[in-house]
C-alpha cells in the first residue's frame, strides 16, 4: 500500500473515532437514572393524623407505586401552613420537596403577613389533592331551618347575632365574612382555636351560627343540638344531598371550600411537575383511593398544573377583595 494511502486511512480512522467520542456526551449522563434518584419528601403543614397529613400519606403511597421509588411525608407544623410552604419554596429544584398547601399559606396568609416566600414567584402548582364542603349550622333552639330564616333573623337583630370561627383567615371565617358582605349583614365574630371548639360553642348556645367542616358538626346535629342548614359548595354535596346550597337560597356567587393542593419549588423541571401531577390524578381516581377519601368526606377534583393555577387565581379574586373590604388582619 502506498504511503499516501496509509496516511489517508489512518486519518480516516482517527476522525471516525473522534466523532464517536464527541457523540457520546450528547446522551445525558443521568439518562439511565431517571427522576427520582433520591427519596422524595412531601411536606405536610400539620401534625400526624390531621387531614393534610392523611392526604399527604395517601399521595406518598400512590406515588411510590407509580414511580417505584421511595416517597416520604415530613410534618412541618406551624404558622398556619407557612413553614411547610416556605421549606418547599427554598428546597433545591433538582431535588424538590413538594408541599401540601391550603388556602392559608397559598392565598390568604401572604396577603396578611410576611411569610418569607412569595407563592407566585417561589412555588409552582402541581395538582389538586382534595376538597371539602363546609356546613352552615345554627343552634337548634333558635329554630332556624333555612338560609332565608337565618338572613331574616339576623336582619331583625343587627349586631346581636354572633358566629363562631376556628381562626382568622380560615374558611369558617372568610365564608361568614363573604356571606355578610353579599347580604349586608351585621354580625359579631367569636374566635376559637379549632373547629371542634367552635362547633361546641354553637351546640352549647354560647354562639349562634357558624360555617364549619362536617366532622365538627355531624355528631352535635345527630344529638339535636345543631341544625344543619346548607352546604357551601355550588352544587349539592353527595355526602349530605338533603342540604341545599346557598345559591338555591338566592345567595348568588357564594362558595367556600376547604382544599388541599400539591406545590413544588419554582424551577422544578416541567417534566417532574407534570409527571407527579399526572400520577396523582391517575391514582386518586382509583376506587380504593376514592374510598379512602370518602371515609374522610373529601372529594378529589382532578386538575393539571395549568388548571390549578387558574383555580388559585379564582380563589384570590374571591377572597382578597373581600378581605380588604372587611379590613381583615392577622391576630
Task: Note the pLDDT tens digit of each residue in 227-275.
Answer: 999 999 999 999 999 999 999 999 988 999 999 999 999 999 999 999 9
φ, ψ of residue 307 in degrees (nearest 5): -65, -35
Instruction: Tell me the domain boundaries of the chain.
Output: 40-132+257-326, 135-231
What's the CA dihedral at 155, 161, 165, 171 to 10 degrees?
0
What pLDDT, on a 0 to 100 scale, did the predictor assign at position 253? 87
What pLDDT, on a 0 to 100 scale, did the predictor assign at position 30? 43
Contact between 191 and 329 under an 8 Å Cβ cutoff? The reply is no
Fold equal for 40-132+257-326 and 135-231 = yes
Task: Note the pLDDT tens digit of each residue in 76-119.
Answer: 999 989 999 999 999 998 899 999 999 999 999 999 899 999 99
Cell of 251: 345567595
Nearest to 126 by CA among 101, 92, 149, 161: 101
Fold for domain 40-132+257-326?
A: D-Maltodextrin-Binding Protein; domain 2 (3.40.190)
Query: For the chain, how far is it from start to end, CA to CA, in angstroms?
Result: 93
pTM across the whole model:
0.85
- Residue 7 pLDDT > 50, yes or no? no
Fold for domain 135-231?
A: D-Maltodextrin-Binding Protein; domain 2 (3.40.190)
Amino acid at each position: 500500500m502506498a504511503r499516501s494511502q496509509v496516511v489517508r486511512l489512518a486519518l480516516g480512522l482517527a476522525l471516525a473515532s473522534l466523532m464517536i467520542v464527541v457523540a457520546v456526551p450528547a446522551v445525558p449522563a443521568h439518562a439511565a437514572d431517571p427522576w427520582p434518584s433520591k427519596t422524595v419528601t412531601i411536606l405536610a403543614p400539620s401534625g400526624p393524623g390531621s387531614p393534610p397529613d392523611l392526604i399527604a400519606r395517601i399521595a406518598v403511597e400512590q406515588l411510590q407505586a407509580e414511580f417505584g421509588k421511595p416517597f416520604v411525608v415530613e410534618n412541618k407544623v406551624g404558622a398556619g401552613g407557612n413553614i411547610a410552604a416556605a421549606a418547599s419554596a427554598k428546597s433545591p429544584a433538582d431535588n424538590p420537596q413538594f408541599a401540601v398547601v391550603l388556602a392559608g399559606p397559598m392565598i390568604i396568609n401572604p396577603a396578611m403577613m410576611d411569610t418569607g416566600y412569595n407563592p407566585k414567584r417561589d412555588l409552582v402548582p402541581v395538582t389538586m389533592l382534595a376538597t371539602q364542603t363546609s356546613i352552615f349550622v345554627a343552634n337548634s333552639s333558635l329554630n332556624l331551618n333555612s338560609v332565608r330564616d337565618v338572613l331574616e333573623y339576623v336582619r331583625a337583630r343587627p349586631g346581636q347575632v354572633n358566629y363562631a370561627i376556628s381562626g382568622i383567615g380560615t374558611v369558617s371565617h372568610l365564608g361568614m365574612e363573604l356571606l355578610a358582605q353579599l347580604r349586608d349583614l351585621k354580625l359579631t365574630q367569636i374566635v376559637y382555636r379549632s373547629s371542634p371548639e367552635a362547633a361546641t360553642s354553637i351546640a352549647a348556645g354560647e354562639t349562634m351560627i357558624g360555617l364549619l367542616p362536617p366532622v365538627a358538626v355531624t355528631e352535635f346535629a345527630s344529638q339535636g343540638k345543631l341544625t344543619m342548614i346548607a352546604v357551601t359548595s355550588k352544587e349539592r354535596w353527595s355526602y349530605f344531598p338533603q342540604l341545599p346550597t346557598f345559591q338555591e337560597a338566592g345567595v348568588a356567587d357564594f362558595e367556600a371550600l376547604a382544599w388541599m393542593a400539591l406545590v413544588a419549588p419554582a424551577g422544578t423541571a416541567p417534566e417532574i411537575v407534570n409527571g407527579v401531577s399526572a400520577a396523582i390524578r391517575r391514582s386518586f381516581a382509583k376506587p380504593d383511593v376514592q374510598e379512602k377519601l370518602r371515609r374522610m368526606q373529601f372529594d378529589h377534583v382532578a386538575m393539571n398544573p395549568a388548571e390549578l393555577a387558574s383555580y388559585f387565581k379564582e380563589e384570590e379574586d374571591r377572597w382578597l377583595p373581600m378581605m380588604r373590604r372587611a379590613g381583615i388582619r392577622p391576630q
